[in-house]
Amino acid sequence: MAGVQVANVSRSFGAHKALDDVSIDFADGGFYALLGPSGSGKTTLLRQIAGFDFPDSGRISIGGESVERVPVEKRRIGMVFQNYALFPNMSVADNVAFGLSVRGENKAVIATEVQRALDLVQLGKLGGRRPHQLSGGQRQRVALARAIVTKPRVLLLDEPLGALDKALRVDMQIELKRIQREIGITTIFVTHDQEEALTMSDRIGILRDGRLVQEGPPEEIYDRPKSEFAATFLGDANIFRGDATGNGIRLPDGTAIAAKVGDRLAGGAKASCAVRPERIRIATDAVVSDAADANMLKGKVSKRIFAGNNSTYFVERAGQTLKVIVQNTGADRLAEGQDVVLRWSPESTVLIAAG
Amino acid sequence: MAGVQVANVSRSFGAHKALDDVSIDFADGGFYALLGPSGSGKTTLLRQIAGFDFPDSGRISIGGESVERVPVEKRRIGMVFQNYALFPNMSVADNVAFGLSVRGENKAVIATEVQRALDLVQLGKLGGRRPHQLSGGQRQRVALARAIVTKPRVLLLDEPLGALDKALRVDMQIELKRIQREIGITTIFVTHDQEEALTMSDRIGILRDGRLVQEGPPEEIYDRPKSEFAATFLGDANIFRGDATGNGIRLPDGTAIAAKVGDRLAGGAKASCAVRPERIRIATDAVVSDAADANMLKGKVSKRIFAGNNSTYFVERAGQTLKVIVQNTGADRLAEGQDVVLRWSPESTVLIAAG
Amino acid sequence: MMTTRILEGLGRFYIGLLLAFLYLPIVIMALMSFNVSPFYQLPFEWTTEWYASLWHNDQLIAATWNSLEIAIVTTVICVVLGSAASLALYRYEFRGKKVLQALLFPPIAIPWLITGTAMLIFFFGVGIGRGLFAILLGHVALALPYVIVVVSARLQTFAPELEEAARSLGANQWQVTMRVTLPWIMPGVIAGGLFAFAVSFDQFVVSYFLATPGQTTLPVEIYAAIRKGFTPEINAVSTIIIVVSMALMLLTARFFKFGGEK
Amino acid sequence: MAVPGATASRSGQRSALPLLAPAYLWLTVAIFLPLSAMVFFSFMTDLPLSGKPWAFTLGNYAAFFSQSLYLTLLLASLRLGLEVTLWCIVIGYPAAYVLAKVLKGRSREAIFLLVILPFWSNGLVRIFSWAMVLREGGILDTALNAVLPFKINIDLMYSYPAVIIGLVHSYVPYMVLTCYLTLQAIDDSLIEAGRSLGASRLQVLKRVIIPLSLPGLVAGAALIFVPVVGSFMEPRILGGRTGTFYGTVIEDQFVAVFNWPLGAALSFILLAVVLVILAVASPVLRRAA
Amino acid sequence: AEVHVLNWKGYGADEPWAIQAFEKATGNKVVNDFFNSEQEMLTKIRTNPGLYDVVMINAAFNNQAMAEKLIQPIDVSKLPNYADISKDKAGSPMLDHDGKVYGVPWVWGLTALAINEKSFDKPPTSIAEMWDPAHKGRVIIRDDAVEAVQFGAIATGQNINDIKDMDAVKTKLTSLMPQIKTFWSSENDWNQMVASNQIDIGTYWSGSADRAKTHFKLPVSLVIPKEGAVAWLDAFSIPAGSKNVEGAQAFINWMIDPKFYVEWVTKVGAPVSANTKAVEALPEDAFNRKVMGDPEVAKRIQFQAPITDAQREAYLALWQQLKVDVK
Ligand SMILES: Nc1ncnc2c1ncn2[C@@H]1O[C@H](COP(=O)(O)OP(=O)(O)OP(=O)(O)O)[C@@H](O)[C@H]1O
Ligand SMILES: Nc1ncnc2c1ncn2[C@@H]1O[C@H](COP(=O)(O)OP(=O)(O)OP(=O)(O)O)[C@@H](O)[C@H]1O
Ligand SMILES: [Mg+2]
Ligand SMILES: [Mg+2]
């Protein structure tokens, strides 16, 4: 199979820089998630790799070989389009069969492969329908089946599971991972579902305004975001801003926050600390429990939002609203308006240079 | 404004029953989430309410008045289509202005309203673009702006935020809720994002194969699912199947599981128990901590999956894989292969009649 | 729901009216082929003599076959060349494209009389001469712009990401065209073909200039016949053609979908 | 929908050539070169063919401007073209709409083909049939008088309306076809979206459907307007006394007096006018889209 | 061998019975081609050198064809029937140049008036009938500039070949325009108009009127007005480069033969033959013999002489102006 190298790629639409000097090395056989706000250039990047559009500058290689002159159909890619792009004139089965059939595959082989792919996306019985007779999620699954049935060397997935319910999405995730591992396809995956990005991918890249902001394995990005943007974009974070001290920062009101993760900064510089809401423990102020938590703040619960397996408490403190996530283990809840103490360890606190 | 009553509505496509005797009462000014697997009939139901399609049987009323003879444009609805359906021949601003302009609104008023709506969806600067020059998420936001700018009495949203990143999605959720509260629009919302459904809606309805499976406030559905399907579809659940005893069930291997929530069942009947993964506490087997947890099982950790603010442990036990969610508070992790004890309380256990 | 039904009924009624308008002269033509008077004189007196004499009019029959052959060949050539050109005009950006598009209009705008004379002189000058081949040459050229204009109109509704999807699945340009683009523009191609057939089959002026004696086409025969005294044989042969093509078309309508797909 | 040049920009001329060459070569040999010869003739005093001496002149073009006759007739022909085109739109567009969006299933294909079929009959024969319908004591006259309680005299033959009817009849299928092609391609969800925003059917038609079907409408209009302006057969036969138009005077130059240079000059003036009209109309129409 | 003949459609030379007999008698096969106007005929010979063997040319155009070297002199000694052609026609300066014969006179006829018998109790005698308000909208004339102008000349009492007062012609024709229903361009038009009783009176060709009456049994009769009528002479020529001159001679001879002519008149209806014997072979009371041969009539008719291109264009300009003014 083949890795994909994107080197210094830029692409503008008129005055708008959709991609700005992006370089990423997608390892052979890896599973790579691309994240970024709406309009940050994810689709544009995939289109460059596929060869539908060409960089203004920079180069793209697949399998070590520059593809500037390789037309789309020779790149051996599979793609799921954000809007699916199913062929309206063909049945579902013919859509899926298309890639095999243009390759001149044997009819019987095609029929088996297509059925297998449709079964895999749980549409085994809908092969005879036309795309316009399908629901949104069903269409998306046809697009997925169509892209994987050809066993491409690079799979480009533009929010391929966005229209699926959770259960189906998990099934598809498992299938995608299985296929990707079995045949070692290099997979590049755009998603807005953070859990999906975190659980499935080997590495994650975050784009913002056409630039690559941070890149690395999921836990690294989650645990050591390099910027406020990365911290808040992937997962949630409480951000404290102040002046760097030797081992943390001092907030404007004088409170010190100790941090053991992230940049080492000289004292006095502007800096931020990021703390994940789930790392903070919340308690009614009377109870003192664990001495290991060096950071502590007092506040008042303003709201609680139920979200299934956990709840988020919004705690007001010195004009800032802090979020605290508490797993819904069935224990008692805190009431709105209650005074609380928040604690967390310096190991859960990431120091970030202001930028 | 106006509530929407759907009474015994059925709709078939050929032999396929897309809606099967569905009755729901969408309260005036309420925020209602529709959930269901792909192809379960959610879009079909919205289309009936909008008046694009007509029920084979049953009736639909808006604001207490049957709308059988009311054409779409008189129903005063706003709709976000699953595929956006932006007018390709108009600029973004003209798309958003459409609803106001057909109403004959004053030009200046339209301009202000459109700009406000575009700012609200954070596309204030893109008014002059054509839809095909937008990214997927940008298109979706245009569709949203277009639907809300007319201040309809009923808002039908078919996965209106599916293509947005988390941060933007949260912003949009807040805006939607604000608008909906301010003008009291009855909102019906299809989503595959469970957290979104749980956090935003007043009530949730779950569809399956065209039938309404369960309906109620989010916490009720989450805490007291009435069927295995509802339990596993909304949120995750570990299901144990066995014979009902007076206060729980007995598994085939003789283990008893106590349950204090859900149906009361006669002893001996087939029954299931559902337990949310976040309600189970996991510990290395030596430690015994809380006597209140009446249910206990032993098992072996087979895998751990990191998902940002929490991790899921997969525990093997008697041929069944159980899931346990643990918040990532920064504490030590369990290793794969480790023997563990799982505990949870009967209050966290829902008894469900086998169906 | 009610209004939808009413509108549908109105729609059908309207189409009925249109068809009545379109077929009124055709019906009269057919009726007159059974009328005794060659001058469309009433009262109507039934006869089949025109069909009988048509049977013996070898020249008219030969001309009809010539017309049919030329029209069919013209249609095939126009559809192929015209679709290819439309695709190129749709897909690629290049200098001079606007000019090429504008060049489609002279053949339509200049009265056929002038085009026909011009062809006659030019073909005579370069040695192509007159005859069925020259007629074919002329007919294709006259019909091509129609095909290109019609197919291009349809192509404008085509979503380019479908071509991209096909190419990402490994289809080469040819396969993309044949299997994705062509099915979508098929209604346009068929419509273009029907136009081309009509332009050729009913083409009098150019054929008239380019036909050699003894090797004429039906419209030329008809025009010439009119000078002498119109005989309803012409109505008869026209009626037969319409009836046969109607039967053929309705038959094919059973087997193909002209609507394309959503 | 149409994203112009999304896949294009790169390849350009070289890729387009093999697809364009056959069609344009054909057009060159069979139309452009002959017409160029005609252009050449239009600057001559006489045809070289006639064996008489000839010289270059601008006189043929000057003739157009020196005699008010030609301008009058050109304007009359343009008006005729416009009226016929408008009638074709008025009659053809709704039919295309019904075919594309109202009728479903088999009947649609069948009706569609039926619309084209009259086209395959001979133009002259069709015109003669119209004479039968329109004249005094003709079908229309007889039928109306049979139905109406009072006596009216319908003699539309040899009049301007007769020309319009004959031309509309000949050309309306173009409009139905080309409009159908683009109407059929409009996604129904766009219509639904329009109505969900409170637009009535009519407003949706005006604001969404017509703009989106404009390419077909424009193609149809061009394919009708352009040849009608130069038409001579229908006006001559159906117009009678009033059937003199720009096309008929061109025909006269070719057929009656053998003054091809003048005839050619007149037709190239016509071509120029038509092209200018199309050029002026197209950006306006594009803006409307 | 083949004889390629260029002629008006339905104008004798393409009658199947005649061709059959000719082919049987001479072994030549006839291939017919047709034209719709004299100009077209000239174009056809110009652009197809060597294709045609016989061409029928109105005597008024013979000169032009000869000047362009489109036709060759005819060896009349090979045409036994040529001797019987009336002297005034055979010697016509329009056909003979430098002592060589370029055209063999075939038939002659008139552009006169024809009436719908249903509309008249008694045939009119004057051309003024066309201007009679009683016939408003029921008059028809041919869409031909030269003919129209010459007709106007007759109506204003002028010589058709030497029109002095063009304005009078124009005024006369202008006042005729509102009377007119439509213009005819082929026999068929005329016959249809009469058959459907849409016209009362109009200009028509003598041969065609005869054909309409004899062959088609239409209520048509020819009127030669007292003011006179336009006469024309049609002649056969042999194009330069003909590949079968012998066949051409045989065909022309066949066409001027009395036997063919009588059959033509009886079966179909025809103009007057230039061959005196042929005319004499007709029954005494035949129209072509009795009326057309009447010396009174002969005095009234004026034969068309060649006209120059400039004249023709001037006539056309006048005619077009009239047609535009009436719109
Ligand atoms: N025109 C049609 N013809 C046949 N079946 C149809 C048609 N439209 C919808 N269906 C079927 O009806 C069922 C319900 O479709 P619907 O679009 O309502 O699903 P949905 O709940 O919106 O799903 P999704 O979440 O995937 O969008 C699906 O199984 C679909 O395949
Ligand atoms: N044809 C175009 N013309 C102008 N701007 C464009 C065009 N295509 C894309 N853009 C702009 O380029 C930027 C990047 O677009 P892209 O589609 O790559 O975003 P994305 O990251 O995929 O976003 P999303 O998550 O919303 O799909 C956007 O701001 C978009 O508006
Ligand atoms: Mg995108
Ligand atoms: Mg849906």
Residue D13 lies in a domain: no
pLDDT digit of tens for each residue in chain A (355 aa)? 588 999 999 999 988 999 999 999 999 989 999 999 999 999 999 999 999 999 999 999 998 889 888 888 888 999 999 889 999 889 999 999 999 998 888 999 999 999 999 999 999 999 999 999 999 999 999 999 999 999 999 999 999 998 888 888 888 988 888 888 888 899 999 998 888 888 889 999 999 999 999 999 998 898 889 888 998 888 888 999 888 887 888 888 888 888 888 777 776 778 888 998 888 888 886 555 555 567 888 888 988 888 777 888 999 988 889 999 888 877 777 888 888 888 888 888 888 887 6
Same domain, D115 and D251: yes
In which residue are the tokens 């025109």 written? Answer: C50
- The CATH number of residue D184's host domain is 1.10.3720.10
Give the CATH number of domain A4-223; options: 3.40.1410.10, 3.40.50.300, 3.90.950.20, 3.40.50.970. Answer: 3.40.50.300
Domain range for residue C100? 51-255
How large is the greatest C-alpha to C-alpha distance in chain A, in angstroms? 75
Query: Where does a domain end: D56, D76, D103?
Result: D56
Confirm or reject contact between B135 and chain A (CB < 8 A).
Answer: yes
Of D196, D208, D211, the CB nearest to B77: D196
Ligand 2: residue whose CA is nearest its atom 29: A39
Instruction: Quickly name the fold that domain B237-353 has.
Output: OB fold (Dihydrolipoamide Acetyltransferase, E2P) (2.40.50)
Report whether pLDDT(E201) > 90: yes
For A104, the token pair is 């001149």
Give chain C's domain count.
1
> For chain B, which residues make up each domain, given as ranges?
4-223, 237-353
Containing D239, the helix (H) or strand (E) segment is helix D233-239
- Which band of pLDDT confidence, cut at 50, 70 and 90, is reported for residue C76? very high
- Residues with CB under 6 Å of ligand 1 are A 133-138, 163; B 13-14, 16, 18, 36, 38-44, 82
SS3 call for B126: coil
Domain range for residue D25? 21-56
Dihedral sign of CA atoms A281, A286, A292, A296 in order:
positive
- The CATH number of residue C212's host domain is 1.10.3720.10
Q: What is the mean pLDDT of residues E128-148?
A: 91
3-state secondary structure chain C: CHHHHHHHHHHHHHHHHHHHHHHHHHHHHHHHCCECCCCCCCCCCECCHHHHHHHHCHHHHHHHHHHHHHHHHHHHHHHHHHHHHHHHHHHCCCCCHHHHHHCCHHHHHCCHHHHHHHHHHHHHHHCCCCCHHHHHHHHHHHHHHHHHHHHHHHHCCCCHHHHHHHHHCCCCHHHHHHHHHHHHHHHHHHHHHHHHHHHHHCCCHHHHHHCECCECCHHHHHHHHHHHCCCCHHHHHHHHHHHHHHHHHHHHHHHCCCCCCC
Q: What pLDDT does B142 receive?
A: 95
Atom number, ligand 2, closest to the C-alpha of residue B138: 26
Do E and C touch, 3+ Cβ pairs within 8 Å? The answer is: yes
Given a contact cutoff of 8 angstroms between Cβ atoms, the answer to whether D14 and D21 are in contact is no
Listed residue (A112, A98, A23) closest to A61, CA to CA: A23
Report whether pLDDT(D2) > 50: no
Dist. CA C83–CA D20, nearest whole Å? 10
pTM of the model: 0.86
Confirm or reject contact between D257 and chain E (CB < 8 A).
Answer: yes
- Which band of pLDDT confidence, cut at 50, 70 and 90, is reported for residue C261? very low
Mutate to test the pocket of ligand 1, among B20, B43, B53, B191 (most ligand atoms within 8 A of CB): B43
Percent of chain D with pLDDT over 90: 26
Q: What subunits touch chain D, counting only 3 or more CB pairs under 8 A?
A: A, B, C, E
Dist. CA C227–CA C229, nearest whole Å? 6
**Distance from residue D239's CA to the centre of ligand 2 (Å):** 59
Residue D4 lies in a domain: no
For E9, the token pair is 């459609």
Identify the nearest ligand to the CA of B45 by its number.
Answer: 1
Report whether pLDDT(C228) > 80: no
Of C40, C121, C227, the CB nearest to E196: C40
Atom number, ligand 2, closest to the C-alpha of residue A45: 18
Contact: D7, A52; criterion CB under 8 Å: yes
Report whether pLDDT(C260) > 60: no
- Give the CA distances from residue D284 to residues D99, D213, D214, D287, in Å, rounded to whole numbers and listed in that order: 28, 15, 12, 5
Residue D199 DSSP code: -
What phi-psi label fits residue A248: left (phi over 0), alpha (psi between -120 and 50 degrees) or beta? left
Q: What is the ipTM of this complex?
A: 0.85
Containing B212, the helix (H) or strand (E) segment is strand B211-216
Percent of chain E with pLDDT over 90: 35
Taking residue E118's Cβ as centre, other Cβ atoms within 10 Å add up to 10
Dist. CA E54–CA E233, nearest whole Å? 16
Alpha-carbon dihedral D69, D71, D72, D74, rounded to 10 degrees: 120
Taking residue E126's Cβ as centre, other Cβ atoms within 10 Å add up to 14
Residue A126 DSSP code: -
Given a contact cutoff of 8 angstroms between Cβ atoms, the answer to whether A284 and A339 are in contact is yes
Residue D14 lies in a domain: no
Q: What is the mean pLDDT of residues E274-289?
A: 86
Residue D7 lies in a domain: no
Q: What pLDDT does C213 receive?
A: 73
Same domain, D36 and D159: no
Contacts of D6 in chain A (CB under 8 A): 52-53
Given a contact cutoff of 8 angstroms between Cβ atoms, the answer to whether D261 and D280 are in contact is no
For C187, the token pair is 């209604």
Dist. CA A160–CA E322, nearest whole Å? 76
Q: What is the mean pLDDT of residues D208-232?
A: 89
E201-205 and E139-142: which strand pairing?
parallel
Same domain, D172 and D222: yes
Residues whose CB falls within 8 Å of the CB of residue D112, separated by 6 or more in sequence, listed in order: C253, C258, D99, D180
Percent of chain D with pLDDT over 70: 91
Q: What pLDDT does D3 receive?
A: 35
pLDDT in tens, B116-172: 999 999 999 999 999 999 999 999 999 999 999 999 999 999 999 988 988 888 889
Residues whose CB falls within 8 Å of the CB of residue A332, separated by 6 or more in sequence, listed in order: none
Residue C81 lies in a domain: yes
Do E and D touch, 3+ Cβ pairs within 8 Å? The answer is: yes
Q: What pLDDT does D198 receive?
A: 86
C213 vs A119, which has greater pLDDT?
A119
pLDDT in tens, B37-48: 999 999 999 999
- State the count of interchain CB pairs (< 8 A) between D and E: 77
Beta bridge partners of A31: A187
Same domain, D36 and D152: no
Confirm or reject contact between D71 and chain E (CB < 8 A).
Answer: no
pLDDT in tens, B263-321: 777 767 788 889 988 888 888 865 655 555 678 888 889 888 887 778 889 999 888 89
SS3 call for B65: strand
- State the count of interchain CB pairs (< 8 A) between C and D: 333
For B265, the token pair is 């069942």
Residue D232 lies in a domain: yes
Identify the nearest ligand to the CA of A47 by its number.
Answer: 2
3-state secondary structure chain E: CEEEEEEECCCCCCCHHHHHHHHHHHCCEEEEEEECCHHHHHHHHHHCCCCCCEEEEEHHHHHHHHHCCCEECCCHHHCHHHHHECHHHHCCCCCEECCEECCEEEEEEEEEEEEEHHHCCCCCCCHHHHHCHHHCCCEEEECCHHHHHHHHHHHCCCECCECCCHHHHHHHHHHHHHHEEEEECCHHHHHHHHHCCCCCEEEEEHHHHHHHHHCCCCCEEEECCCCCEEEEEEEEEEECCCCCHHHHHHHHHHHCCHHHHHHHHHHCCCCEECEHHHHHCCCCCCHHHHCCCCHHHHHHEEECCCCCHHHHHHHHHHHHHHHHHHC
Q: What pLDDT does A6 receive?
A: 94
A266 vs B23, which has greater pLDDT?
B23
Decide: residue B29, CB within 10 A, 0-12 exposed, 13-18 middle, 19+ buried: middle
For B34, the token pair is 């529709």
Residue C21 lies in a domain: no
Residue C35 lies in a domain: no
Tally: H helices and E strands in chain D? 14, 0
Contacts of C3 in chain B (CB under 8 A): 71
User: Count of residues for chain C?
Assistant: 262
For D53, the token pair is 């001496």
